[in-house]
Amino acid sequence: MKLVFLGPPGAGKGTQAKLLAQNRTIPHISTGQIFRDNIQNKTKLGVKAQAFNDKGILVPDEITNEMVKLRLTKDDCEKGYILDGYPRTVPQAKFLDSIVKIDRVVCFYLSDDEAMKRMMGRAISEPGRADDNEDVIKTRIKQYEQKTKPLIDFYKDKENLLMIDANPEIEVIQKDVIDKLNQ
């Protein structure tokens, strides 16, 4: 099963993707991790991505698309995967549609206030994350509202969108995801 997880920063996409990937024995492909790997290894794409990340601005589609496309060619993706944090824009979604068929899109919803609270908590509990300070978090939430939220309508039109409340406890959310995927 090929899945996309959407939602605002702090909604728990990564946590839920990790749990479901273990449950389904498919890879959890986090664009955040792809970016970190490319940045740490100082790849050509990684150097370009770093400049945008430092400002809290989404990395341009052409860089992100290339990183994701390269990752999806790996052998572990043959039986499916969970894309976490990609696509973030309608043009990225259209690019993704041109290279693969996504089975379901799981959208986690959460208020901006709760997203901010969670992200600030993460900044405190995980020191050294340069992308988690109040100004950068506000920018990321604003970017989500402007660029990523339109994906909800894009996927709703394709009739493969599942809406998941990201407010309950992790286990409750996971059960909701599994139940809806099994319908």
Residue with the larger pLDDT of the pair 58 and 98 = 98
Where residue 23 falls (left for φ over 0; alpha for ψ -120 to 50; beta otherwise) is: alpha
The fraction of the chain above a pLDDT of 70, given in percent, is 96
Render pLDDT for 100-150 as a digit per residue (tens, 0 to 9): 999 999 999 998 888 888 888 777 777 666 556 788 888 888 888 888 889
Alpha helical stretches, state H, the chain: 13-24, 31-40, 44-53, 61-72, 90-99, 112-125, 134-143, 150-157, 170-181
* Average pLDDT value for residue range 39-52: 92
pLDDT of residue 175: 96
Strand partners, 77: none
Which of 126 and 75 is assigned the larger pLDDT? 75
For residue 10, give the amino acid letter. G
pTM, entire model: 0.83
| Buried-exposed string 97-110: b where 16+ CB fall within 10 A, e elsewhere | eeeeebebbbbbeb
| For the chain, domain boundaries | 2-181
User: Rounded distance, CA 90 to CA 88, Å?
Assistant: 7
Beta-carbon contacts of 10 under 8 Å, excluding residues fewer than 6 positions away, are: 110, 114, 115, 116, 117, 118, 119, 122
Q: What is the amino acid identity at position 93?
A: A
- Of the options 3.30.465.10, 3.40.50.300, 1.20.58.480, 1.10.1040.10, the CATH number for the domain spanning 2-181: 3.40.50.300
In sequence order, which residues have a C-beta less than 8 Å from that of residue 175 and are 6 or more positions away?
A: none
Average of per-residue pLDDT values in the chain: 89
